Amino acid sequence: MFHAILFYTFAAVLIGAALGVIFSKNPVHAVMLLVLAFFQSAVLWLLAEAEFLAIVLVLVYVGAVMVLFLFVVMMLDINVERVEGGFTKYAPFGLFIAALMVIELVQIIWFRSSGGARSGGFAANPEGYSNTEALGAVLYTEHVYAFEIAAVILLLAIVAAITLTMRKRPGLKQQNISRQVAVKRDDRVRLVEMDAETEQ
Amino acid sequence: MASLVPQFMVDIWDSFPPLLQFLITSTSQILIVTVGIILIVAFSTYFERKVIGAMQGRVGPNRVGPMGLLQPFADVIKLLIKEVVIPEKSNRFLFVIAPLLSLIPALATWAVIPLTDTFVIADINAGLLYVLALTSVGVYGVILAGWATNSKYAFLGAMRSAAQIVAYEIAMGFALVGVLMAAGSLNLGDITRAQAGGVSSWFVWPLLPLFVVYFISAVAETNRAPFDVAEGESEIVAGFHVEYSGVAFALFFLAEYANMVLISALTAIFFLGGWASPFEGWTFLGDDNLLRQPSLIWLFAKVCFFMFTLFWLRATFPRYRYDQIMRLGWKVFIPVTIIWIAVEGVMAWLRIGPWQGLAG
């Protein structure tokens, strides 16, 4: 009962925040509403006793991805009226994506209801069960190859992204940090021995 | 406890439903911890001014109350009765909510911090991850404050701070990977218990490079000197909080100091054995010697030591140049942590240090 009240409260806020992301005119507000939506879905995962996934969702998406998003959105000086015009322009594409998502959701629900997978609510875990340990045990034994391949793909993406941004502009003046750090006092200052000059 | 409390109160307590009992106990625990933290924060401002005063050959605050001890309260009252100016062209809602967003994560993290062997508000398995998640959320307050103010200085401060925090968070996360490798747990209580046995078994020795990286990254995360380019008085006035006044400014101030206390407590727990006594292994003191007992006082002493170190750093070093901050974060700290994690792997394989008792 208490569990259900919590679930519906957070689910309602999640849907409200998600709608707000789409309909808010200010992009910074949209990003903040998306952060709220992530928090709400993290709480839903907590209710399903998946505390590792919940906390990692906050850590990765709220703590890193959305910060960079906010960064970019703040830098853009977006004209609100032009954005409004764009809403109808991109509507067919948006509708196409929405239809795709609905089809996928219906497929999963149909698959579940036809007994294709374990259906019903979340089973409560026994006392002392650690979600993190269980996930780690599966990830590093059964799925270790898939896990490592994913890691290599991510590394490749990092290398590719860095190579794309490493353009050297000709004539660009840059500091040579290692030379700056290696500077000694003798390179900059010369101590001169001389007699004190007295005013005549 | 039964002898201290009259019987009818025990009866009334027992008549409450379990949910209400749980609600009352946890709410009072939260209140006690929060009020304690706020008091510590208030006095740490006094402590900072005294320490820096002494280092610079001044006396520091000495007018309000005996030895200036009531100075924090005078400051709070002054800030409370000042006007909160909200710039006309600012984004009003975000401008007001930003100080709260920077304070709430700093206080909420205390939920998983074990203050003694038995007292922790929420003893969760993934405590270390929770700490990482909440410290990364704290950056929103700074970024939003900078943007909502609608001022170039504030925006520059926010951008600097965001880039810096994102960079140092990675080094911090990797340093904590080393800690959880040594402890074999994400629970902060278990991490502390894994360091039982006195000074020699604290993680600071086998993980010394990670300790150094963690503490310096922590200074950068809290935007303290010498990493305080987000405020940078000489370049961008006061950075992200340039337009904040009165209570709104007080909240940012509170958040900064709460973060410092938090970071000190976390460093103590991860590397210096938290509540454990440094003399735990000295058997010649006798079994029931007070010096050997674990207690809150030890944690408090360690927190005070790290707070003092933070003030000491501020009084000693000039501000870092921005590109050098980035270089230190990305090109020095992250490689150091990655290499030390590999070294730890070898140490665990050879059963050295904290991995001695490892089975298998």
- Whether the predicted pLDDT of B213 surpasses 70: yes
| pLDDT tens-place string over residues B27-73 | 888 888 889 888 899 889 888 989 999 999 888 888 888 888 888 88
Please check whether residues A99 and A132 belong to one and the same domain: no
* Any domain includes A194: no
Specify the pLDDT at position B360: 44
Return the pLDDT at A151: 93
| 3-state DSSP assignment of residue A33 | helix
Question: Percent of chain B scored above 70 by pLDDT?
Answer: 93
Residues A157 and A142 in one domain: yes
Judged against a pLDDT cut of 60, whether residue B304 lies above it is answered with yes
Does residue A24 share a domain with residue A107? yes
Same domain, A136 and A104: no
- Quote the domain boundaries for residue A132: 125-168
Average pLDDT over chain B, rounded to whole?
83
Instruction: Report percent pLDDT > 90 for chain B.
Output: 6
Say whether both A132 and A96 belong to one domain.
Answer: no
Kindly state whether residues A12 and A75 are assigned to the same domain.
yes
pLDDT at A37: 92
Per-residue pLDDT averaged across A17-26, rounded? 85
Q: Cα separation of B73 and B56, whole Å?
A: 24
CA atoms within 13 A of residue A106's CA, in its CB half-sphere: 6
Using pLDDT thresholds of 50, 70 and 90, give the confidence band for residue A142: confident
Do both A15 and A81 map to the same domain? yes
CA B147/CA A34 separation, integer angstroms: 17
Compute and round to an integer the Cα radius of gyration of chain A: 28
Residue B198: which of B131, B278, B142, B261 has the closest Cα? B278
Read off the pLDDT band of B289 (50, 70, 90): low
| Contact call for B125 and A55, based on CB within 8 A | no
> Does pLDDT of B278 surpass 60?
yes
Closest residue by Cα to residue B230 from A165, B221, A118, A182: B221
Count of domains observed in chain A? 2
pLDDT at A16: 92
| Set of chain A residues whose Cβ sits within 8 Å of the Cβ of B136 | 59, 62-64, 67
pLDDT (0 to 100) of residue A119? 46
Band the pLDDT of B1: cuts 50, 70, 90. very low
Whether A46 and A92 share a structural domain:
yes
Chain A residues lying within 8 Å of B151, measured CB to CB: none
Chain centroid to Cα A94, Å, comes to 22
Contact A175 B324 (CB under 8 A): no
The pLDDT value recorded for residue A30 is: 86
pLDDT, position A121:
53
Closest alpha carbon within chain B to A133: B185
Please report the pLDDT score of residue A86 as a whole number. 61
d(CA B161, CA B155): 10
Give the model's confidence band at A82: pLDDT under 50 very low, under 70 low, under 90 confident, else very high. low
Q: How far is A29 from chain B (nearest CA, A)?
A: 9
- Measured between beta carbons, the chain B residues lying within 8 angstroms of A59 are 129, 132-133, 136
Tens of pLDDT along B326-356? Answer: 888 888 899 999 999 898 888 888 877 667 6
Residues A142 and A98 in one domain: no
Q: Same domain, yes or no, for A46 and A73?
A: yes
Task: Please indicate whether residue B236 or residue B252 has the higher confidence score (pLDDT).
Answer: B252
* pLDDT at residue A125 greater than cutoff 70: no
